Amino acid sequence: MTQFPDPIHAGLSRGWKVLGGRYGAIPEKISCDVAIVGSGAGGGITAELLAKAGLQVVIIEEGPLKSSTDFQQKESQAYPQLYQESAARKTQDKAINILQGRCVGGSTTVNWTSSFRTPGETLQFWQQKFFLKDYDADRLAPYFAQAEQRLNMLPWLAPPNENNDLLRRGAARLGIKAAVISRNVKGCWNLGSCGMGCPTNAKQSMLVTTIPVALDLGASLLTETRVHNFEIGNGRVTGLRCGPVQPNGAMDSASATGESTLITARHYVLAGGAINSPAVLLRSGAPDPYQLLGRRTFLHPVVLSAGVFEQPVEAWSGAPQSIYTDHFLHTQPVTGSIGYKLEAPPLHPVIFASLVPGIGKNQHALLQDFPSSHALLALLRDGFHAQAPGGRVHLRGDGSPVLDYPLTDYVMDGARRALLSMAEIQFAAGARQVLPLHEMATPYTRWAQAQTAIHALPMKPMLTKVVSAHVMGGCGMAGHEKQGVTRPDGVHWQLDNLSVHDGSIFPTSIGANPQLSIYGIVNRLAQDLCGRLNGRGTSLI
């Protein structure tokens, strides 16, 4: 029994309009002002702003409504209930494992709270290459500031846990500047279970902030309901079709045979996230005259390095991400060889045992060292070079999406440099052993040995462990129709009454954890949309 008041249960008692799953069947027809597909970072911000502006909003979410009472800090529950494909969504060649949320609040319910504004060099690149002239830091600043205030984003002032402090200490030894991460938390208990849903409601995810505000203002939420497609006629969206999904993501048999709910609205906002939003448009046969839809999907491909120290590290405990370094994003221009941001990931039993390479007694030796194990990750900044063009979303025969993301030599060269950087930092911090996560690596006990070995590793997909927790692009924005799926104001270039308000609108990867980029940019898009729909101003704070 939890001691924490559950804001979702409280809201349901107040009479929130929630349907789907255990909350009852959804009607055959629904009509509203704005239908929002997805309740994550973009959907949540949009829902709050539109509801505050007096618009009748329906939010359609394919995941379940889970809340603090359900968050038991157990991976065995969190991965199947809160993540896309049980946290095992993979790229087409299986080389990259993707973590994406699938629940009310989307990825914000399961992310690690790291908050960064869109970096200046990313915005400059967008302005120059994608003709997004309004995307400069000064003009976006007030929208970022509103999101930061609304979601209580502040530098983490508590001491970093050892897993993060080792990054700080190792970097300092090498003269590399590391800094403190800002987090969207209020009254955080420093547990470290953010990735399994925050059990204390300290994490200011969409689940406990914008969605409740929208629901209190009369919005409706359909849960465990997937939008199958938009209906399109005469260059406009005329409706959307949705139906129930089973807990494992399979469409209900009724939906499969054509019984589905039709929702009609004045305007539609697609906020399913990268991969999912392009998938809806592909299933809809949406106009795509320049064949851009689903392309330029980015992942910040991640490679990892596991260290073992003499002292306890207990990487499961404490705020998961509190220290970072952008040093390796600035050692070359943004269009040069691929740069990477270094952070430390939290480690819990299932994720640790899955990531640690090898079998049998060798693997057991590594597993036994779990309490003294340290991990670093490198987010590779894809999308800024011709040889990092990202991947392409396709549909399988059953309509589900798959991302084809080939790992090019250019990206894998960056992966090698990142493994070298992380090993050097771990040894500088005092590691007695460092193991780059690569099937042909063995634990190295000295930096010189690791350096030689990493230079000799075949940096191939599958041999190199690559994961992603940041999926971006696929419905990219541009100032010219031939370059973008969406316009700079988020409206689809060919469908006037459809906006895309999620990370799929980014023309490149962000080069930083993306949640605040989505909140801030969608804040502006949604405020402008409100103005066009009913002329009423609205604000997050």
Q: For Cα atoms 175, 176, 178, give the angle at the middle one, nearest 5 degrees.
A: 130
**Quick one: 229 or 317, whose CB is closer to other proteins?**
317
List 25, 88, 158, 254, residue binding other proteins (CB under 8 A): 88
Instruction: Specify the stretch interacting with other proteins by CB under 8 A; choose among 220-228, 266-274, 395-403, 528-536.
Output: 395-403
What whole-number distance in Å separates Cα of residue 202 and Cα of residue 318?
13
13 near other proteins, rule: CB under 8 A: no
Size of the site for other proteins (CB under 8 A): 52
155 near other proteins, rule: CB under 8 A: no
158 near other proteins, rule: CB under 8 A: no
What whole-number distance in Å separates Cα of residue 429 and Cα of residue 420?
14
List 33, 75, 216, 288, residue binding other proteins (CB under 8 A): 75
Alpha helix segments (H runs only) across 210-303? 210-216, 253-256, 276-283
200 near other proteins, rule: CB under 8 A: yes
Write down the least CB distance from residue 151 to other proteins, Å. Answer: 22
What whole-number distance in Å separates Cα of residue 490 and Cα of residue 496?
10
440 near other proteins, rule: CB under 8 A: yes
**Quick one: 93 or 496, whose CB is closer to other proteins?**
93
316 near other proteins, rule: CB under 8 A: yes
364 near other proteins, rule: CB under 8 A: yes
Do residues 309 and 419 lie in contact, with contact meaning Cβ atoms separated by under 8 Å?
no
List 247, 285, 289, 333, residue binding other proteins (CB under 8 A): 247
Q: Positive or negative, the Cα torsion across 276, 282, 286, 288?
A: positive
257 near other proteins, rule: CB under 8 A: no
187 near other proteins, rule: CB under 8 A: no
**Quick one: 234 or 248, whose CB is closer to other proteins?**
248
360 near other proteins, rule: CB under 8 A: yes
What whole-number distance in Å separates Cα of residue 510 and Cα of residue 121?
9
420 near other proteins, rule: CB under 8 A: no
DSSP per position, 377-434:
EEEE--SSSTT---BEEEE-TTS-EEEE----HHHHHHHHHHHHHHHHHHHHTT-SEE
List 177, 396, 455, 480, residue binding other proteins (CB under 8 A): 396
List 6, 33, 74, 288, residue binding other proteins (CB under 8 A): 74
Per the structure block, which two tokens stand in for 278?
């392009």
What whole-number distance in Å separates Cα of residue 169 and Cα of residue 374?
13
Per the structure block, which two tokens stand in for 140?
């976006």
What whole-number distance in Å separates Cα of residue 126 and Cα of residue 295?
16
Helix axes 515-534, 137-150, angle to 10 degrees: 100
Residues 6+ apart with CB under 8 A from 291: none
3-state secondary structure of 17: strand
Residue 477's φ and ψ, nearest 5 degrees, are -85, 150
Per the structure block, which two tokens stand in for 323?
């220290």
Do residues 101 and 41 lie in contact, with contact meaning Cβ atoms separated by under 8 Å?
no
Residue 263's φ and ψ, nearest 5 degrees, are -115, 130
353 near other proteins, rule: CB under 8 A: yes
368 near other proteins, rule: CB under 8 A: yes
Write down the least CB distance from residue 131 to other proteins, Å. Answer: 38
Write down the least CB distance from residue 162 to other proteins, Å. Answer: 15
Binding mask 446-465 toward other proteins (x if CB under 8 A, else -) reads ----------------xx--
Write down the least CB distance from residue 520 to other proteins, Å. Answer: 32
Residue numbers of the site for other proteins (CB under 8 A)?
2-4, 72-76, 79-80, 85-86, 88, 93-94, 97, 189, 191, 193, 199-200, 247-250, 316-317, 348-350, 352-354, 356, 359-361, 363-365, 367-368, 370-371, 396, 398, 400, 402, 439-440, 462-463
